[in-house]
Structure 1
């Protein structure tokens, strides 16, 4: 089987040779004749299965001796479809072939290389016209040996009309390289990225070593004042950091940190790739902090992450990655932070649903702090994970439960969105349905749902919520016999709800049952128990209420 890397390098060399002979787009001035123009391109699921956060996406179109490139559209979270609206001139001959390539870019600024090739295919103009007229996209299957692959479909919108002089200015410019050094720089950088990607799949250390060599050669082609030097520094730093993670020793972290810092120094405040550099530098500094415990590393990393969170849009992959790093480092201040927990490249964690234990840690962190934006982001991460883990997945119950708690927390902190309260109860009901009689966690699910119904009753006064909550508390109590860790809490919770129902309806049986439950809860909370004083107070209040009612 041919090596895909060799095929890619060969294609890149052909591309570079072709550019030397390509026609200047300013010479494409066909006027007064029929033309076919691409007016829009739509591609779906471009991030699916990617192991690295892309900076953006772009498309190249090769036809009739010219190659056109769309703009580099930034990548965002939950971006199902990416659209480009540049106008690209094609041959009017139906039998002409068009070669299309879809790329994920690694820079938003000047691109040092092509990036990651997501899809490539050839198609006749006649088929493009037919698909455009019928809004019929091209559907792609996963690559050989993969379960999922990025770019599941692509649709081009075309129009046919007579040309006009003003059309020429609207067409995309021809992709050109300025020198053979630039050709070599692109080839070396592309080869480095491809080898690094293959290393992540195969864990073949020789691929990683060769990747580093290519990035070193690329950096050698970029002297101090070269516009691509920051990108070359960043690429080498990234590969070196992966190398440090591979052996688990982190002995050489000084090298990637120094390279990341040099790249950051060359990317000023308004540079489009500054935030991704800050993020990677922060991760490397935190990794070194866990080994050497120098507070300067931790403080510098915290400052960098804070800037990323402040600058990046809410729907940015970088913001999500920074949030993950911030939350995890906050939960492990003693030095157990480990970049390997999130794979070979940390920011990739924001491309795919996080693992349940990672989400649980973020949820715990959110409950400790009062940051509305962070809470929104972690809730969004849980929804993403639920979309990935189907109904039968083993961890779905945990995800549903955690998300339910987060929604209740947001409702209680803001008190303005009833949808959060209703959605939390819906999710908790699904958790309970997944834990039938005999399930070890059924009693806790019963109590959790009862708690949330109680919250909604307090907010809206719906008697059905109160009755259902009491029934659930009773079932939970039945599953927690004498000696159970949470029996006293269940006794108290049920007593509180029965007391509430007595206050609303005046049923003496509810009051008597509540008093009996309070007494049993008190017996399980001896002198010295943290909740004994509240149990004494609850029982005394209800005895006083009964005296007022009966005069006993």
Structure 2
């Protein structure tokens, strides 16, 4: 039985005296032993010993300061302590950790405090029941799993009934040295639990006060120096500056000098000194610091027993040192052996060692064991305990590592949930907060890579940004946090293609490289990531200098990475990729040979079963196939198939990169089919590519590419899966033009799938499914405009059934519409916008788009709304065609067809064009271009054109070809007559048909003077970008009332263009017509200034608008096409669509080429007339090419005379008929050539 000892600082004169005076108040019941378990759980400082204090009746008993064994972390104290006879009296038990033995300074750190009544204590103690300890008043308490108190009742006659007296009264005040030390420990403990820097500063101040109290020869001076050094080291890590490391190093060296060999506290001091050297080594990478740390640790190992906490700490820190070092560590096997024999009994430290070893060697068994240990520990530790948060963080990281190794989605979800809890439990300002945010961001990025949900990537970037902001400048972990942010930017660039993300990635990764000290092992990692970003920029922009710099940099990285380093294979892979990129750019075979050699070296170095093995094999296989394509050696193709097949087999199910690997293998089988003609190879290619395209994981670009390869293979053998391949491609296609991108970027992305929709429609027709062909054309035609229409829809059905959802959708759609317009305007005036403003616009735009996507998914789960805002099926499209037939003209490589949708016909009227193919349509487009060139009315002329003096026969040939080949078969199928009022017809062309004047088709000449040889004899033509836009006419219309406000925008005097003399005449004609209409009450506004801002402001308020000015179709950037206004500025398409008007009305564009689109985007109707339509105008009169300044006023007068013919307020829905009449009079006058009247068209309703 151990004798109770006196506490440091206690007054020996009071020992036992007060106890003797109160002896009668104690029963013959004593505590014979106190046993505490798990008392080192979560301690951040190496304990020297542990003791307990028992309080009751105003007295205090303190047990011996004892060491504990690592086996179970159990300490038991023996010694009789009396208990009061009053059963309601309270007894307080406290467990403390001390940090020194010779002598002990201060109370140390309180681990547990338990207050209990004598009755409860007796009941639990006699039954040996561990006390369940909970925090009091929400206070977070330090770890200690349980306390078991043994109670014994003794009779008066018992020979050993004597009990020990108390050490002193609890009212005895400690001296200054002890008081300052206790306050320092208390403040430091609070800092570790809550992260408040004031507590850390208070701790340092108190420890400094304690040290100043100790004279140079004071026996407690070494302890005071160690306490201050501990707090100073934490401050170094918080403020992240290098110089202050000298302070804790000096303090620990002084303490070590006072504790020679044989001193009980020398091993712990050596370990603390090593911790400072390791911290500086991790930050600066100086091998001298690492060697000093290792030397101190080895000395500590020799001085400590094998079952001590000191020995366990040495094992752990040697493992950390091995993990920090670059290259293979000498003596690694001995360290591992030591770890196995010393650490098995400590699950906390062992799990950390196992994780570090897994990251270094990739042995899955280490990771599995670490996860098991951490899961058990988290279950055993109470939520409020300090170690619980750290355990959650480690478990989340381990689960994320296992997901990346195996690919099980449950691991990823568990990692996110666990890391989110750990982050939520970490208060703002806590030093662990940046690391928690960084790890959570990594898990979100991993889920994005797996599932493709952009919201996860946005969450990842947000967390990484917060981590970087919260991490102080100079902190050793800041470069790694910057690296992760940079990688997330690269991931978003790869997904959305926004060049700004790539620029941000390069800037962020460059910062990480600069902040990493020279010779630090992470320096090469930063340089490698920076090289990847430059490769991405080369692939996007094509600057060869970028690639040359990358190759030079990555060569250095590979050379400087020692053999055996775990990152050597990935760095070789990056270098090989840069060689292959240069081969693809320059065609030098030497680069391809270097790529193959480099990839082969990488594959050899990657252990079997390592998660990076499939990537290395994939790169090697692609390089083999590239050499086959260059040299034609079949052996290279066989090697490619073998290597790529192995990459697919090793890739776990559900891995985000598996679709691209399957597609790569499929392409290789297709290549072998092309070479050998074996049908089985083509079937294998179809199987692989279809699997790649169909799985709902991986990058959209990879899946879309796989679907196109599937299509090519299926077409070769007329495979029954062809339509399914097209269906998947079309469903993926709109995701390229995601509504969260800028308008310009969305159009650039649409170009990637040009032609797929038209070919799909042709395949559907080949298989006898014309309705499917119509649905696909509508879904894939004018994708961007269709989404803009959705944003401005009213959604009455949803409002009537689910008004709250409808309200949220309206608010989000309006905000998204506004954000898109604001962003496009900011991009158009980038010189006037700051980078931060542009980034804020982009972030807001994306977040709104993500939120709206989620709301749409929620709405589609509601009964009856499963297809809400999804592409319309044929019955819905048919119901939209009330105003007239929608005539889709499809031009595919294999065939050309017309598909007619009528409201009163339950099927598609299919009109094949057997004598008309894609090449013929393209030739007609070239013919038209030549005719316009002969007439000197070209894309770059102004509104004023000159009359054609030659080529009239060619015009007649062009228009007769359109009549005989396209229009007449359509009119025959519809059985239209020239008798009575002419019907409306809505042309919806695709491909090269977009640029052909279908509305003017006919047989012209004196021999065809009867009214039955041209399209205008039968119908009134309008053009529409998508068929569903005419659905607006089926809605009940509100009769127009009140004053019709018409805005006239003439050519301003300062637009920098040639003066248009006909504008004044045009204004005079319009003024005369509207002024002579007594019942119309029309207000004619003339824009005298003509600035973009003034015109936009007026357009919001007026009903109709008429432009008589120059127009420009911008070939470089379609959305910058526009109308020339004052000061040389344009009213751009991007400005126009931002209006979002709701009043309908007419837009008359008496300007050059206002209804001609981008030749690279024939299916997207990117022209000014379409912009007006989607801004809310019900109908638009525009031109297909430059118009005559002489004839434009004639057409305008004819249009307005017809619209105002009745003296009542005109209806914009009569504009198509008005244009038909006006152009007809011009045509029949004989004074105008084809080039002057053909360009006028009507768009819309």
TM-score, length basis structure 1: 0.57
SS at 2:94 equivalent? strand
Q: Note the alpha carbon deviations across 1:90-121, whole angstroms, 9 max, x for none.
A: 33443443222222222233221112222323
Change (3 A) 1:398 1:205: closer
Corresponding residue for residue 298 of structure 1: 290
The structure 1 residue matched to 2:65, chosen from 62, 72, 78, is 72
Change (3 A) 1:399 1:21: farther
The structure 1 residue matched to 2:110, chosen from 97, 117, 120, is 117
Contact 2:82 2:163 in 1 (8 A): no
Shift of 1:264: 1.0
Shift of 1:147: 8.2
Corresponding residue for residue 388 of structure 1: 377
Shift of 1:35: 1.8
Q: Note the alpha carbon deviations across 1:320-367, whole angstroms, 9 max, x for none.
A: 3322222222233359x9xxxxxxxxxxxx988369786333357799
SS at 2:175 equivalent? helix
Corresponding residue for residue 99 of structure 1: 92
Contact 1:23 1:66 in 2 (8 A): no
Change (3 A) 1:93 1:26: closer
Change (3 A) 1:161 1:303: same
Contact 1:119 1:151 in 2 (8 A): yes
Change (3 A) 1:73 1:172: farther
Give the Cα separation in 1 of the matches to 2:402 and 2:70. Answer: 20
Q: Does 1:353 align with 2:348?
A: yes
Corresponding residue for residue 279 of structure 1: 271
The structure 2 residue matched to 1:483, chosen from 637, 641, 644, is 644
Contact 2:95 2:112 in 1 (8 A): yes
Give the Cα separation in 2 of the matches to 1:128 and 1:290. Answer: 49
Give the Cα separation in 2 of the matches to 1:292 and 1:69. Answer: 45
Shift of 1:189: 0.8
Q: Note the alpha carbon deviations across 1:199-234, whole angstroms, 9 max, x for none.
A: 223332222112111000001111122121111010
Aligned length: 382
**Greater mean deviation of Cα atoms: 316-325 or 139-148:** 139-148
Give the Cα separation in 1 of the matches to 2:269 and 2:403. Answer: 35
Corresponding residue for residue 127 of structure 1: 120
Give the Cα separation in 1 of the matches to 2:296 and 2:367. Answer: 20
Contact 1:86 1:172 in 2 (8 A): no
SS at 1:79 equivalent? coil
**Aligned alpha-carbon RMSD (Å):** 4.7
Corresponding residue for residue 523 of structure 2: none
Corresponding residue for residue 316 of structure 2: 324
Q: Note the alpha carbon deviations across 1:448-502, whole angstroms, 9 max, x for none.
A: 9xxxxxxxxxxxxxxxxxxxxxxxxxxxxxxx97514558999xxxxxxxxxxxx
Shift of 1:28: 7.9
Give the Cα separation in 1 of the matches to 2:649 and 2:124. Answer: 67
**Greater mean deviation of Cα atoms: 227-236 or 190-199:** 190-199
Contact 2:249 2:276 in 1 (8 A): yes
Contact 2:249 2:273 in 1 (8 A): yes
Give the Cα separation in 1 of the matches to 2:19 and 2:250. Answer: 44
Shift of 1:239: 0.7
Contact 1:23 1:65 in 2 (8 A): no
Change (3 A) 1:202 1:157: closer
Shift of 1:166: 6.9
Trace 1:64-213 onto structure 2 (pairs within 5 A).
64-79=57-72, 81-142=74-135, 150-163=143-156, 167=160, 171=164, 174-175=167-168, 183-213=175-205
Shift of 1:396: 5.2
Corresponding residue for residue 243 of structure 2: 251
SS at 1:213 equivalent? helix
Change (3 A) 1:127 1:147: closer
Give the Cα separation in 1 of the matches to 2:156 and 2:188. Answer: 46
SS at 1:99 equivalent? strand
Give the Cα separation in 1 of the matches to 2:165 and 2:127. Answer: 25
Give the Cα separation in 2 of the matches to 1:303 and 1:367. Answer: 28
SS at 1:139 equivalent? coil
The structure 2 residue matched to 1:43, chosen from 36, 49, 54, is 36
Contact 2:27 2:84 in 1 (8 A): no
Shift of 1:248: 1.2
Give the Cα separation in 2 of the matches to 1:41 and 1:159. Answer: 12
Give the Cα separation in 2 of the matches to 1:214 and 1:148. Answer: 22
Give the Cα separation in 1 of the matches to 2:316 and 2:46. Answer: 14
SS at 1:162 equivalent? coil
Shift of 1:83: 2.1
Change (3 A) 1:109 1:380: farther
Contact 1:114 1:190 in 2 (8 A): yes
SS at 1:114 equivalent? coil
Give the Cα separation in 1 of the matches to 2:120 and 2:139. Answer: 28
Shift of 1:71: 1.7
Change (3 A) 1:283 1:44: closer
Higher relative contact order (CA 8 A, sep 6+): 1
Give the Cα separation in 2 of the matches to 1:315 and 1:381. Answer: 21
Change (3 A) 1:185 1:286: same
Contact 1:317 1:351 in 2 (8 A): no
Shift of 1:45: 3.2
| Structure 1: gaps of 5 or more residues | 1-14, 338-349, 369-376, 403-438, 449-479, 491-552
Corresponding residue for residue 423 of structure 1: none
Shift of 1:132: 2.3
| Structure 2: gaps of 5 or more residues | 1-7, 330-344, 380-391, 406-449, 452-605, 611-640, 652-1245
**Greater mean deviation of Cα atoms: 296-305 or 229-238:** 296-305
Contact 1:38 1:157 in 2 (8 A): yes
Shift of 1:85: 1.7
Q: Note the alpha carbon deviations across 1:414-467, whole angstroms, 9 max, x for none.
A: xxxxxxxxxxxxxxxxxxxxxxxxx99xxx99979xxxxxxxxxxxxxxxxxxx
User: Greater CA radius of gyration, 1 or 2?
Assistant: 2
Contact 2:267 2:301 in 1 (8 A): no
Change (3 A) 1:16 1:324: closer
Change (3 A) 1:252 1:49: closer
Contact 1:45 1:152 in 2 (8 A): yes
Change (3 A) 1:401 1:23: farther
Trace 1:307-456 onto structure 2 (pairs within 5 A).
307-334=299-326, 353=348, 359-363=354-358, 384-385=373-374, 387-388=376-377, 395=398
Q: Note the alpha carbon deviations across 1:130-179, whole angstroms, 9 max, x for none.
A: 222233332112455578852343232111223579748763761589x9
TM-score, length basis structure 2: 0.27
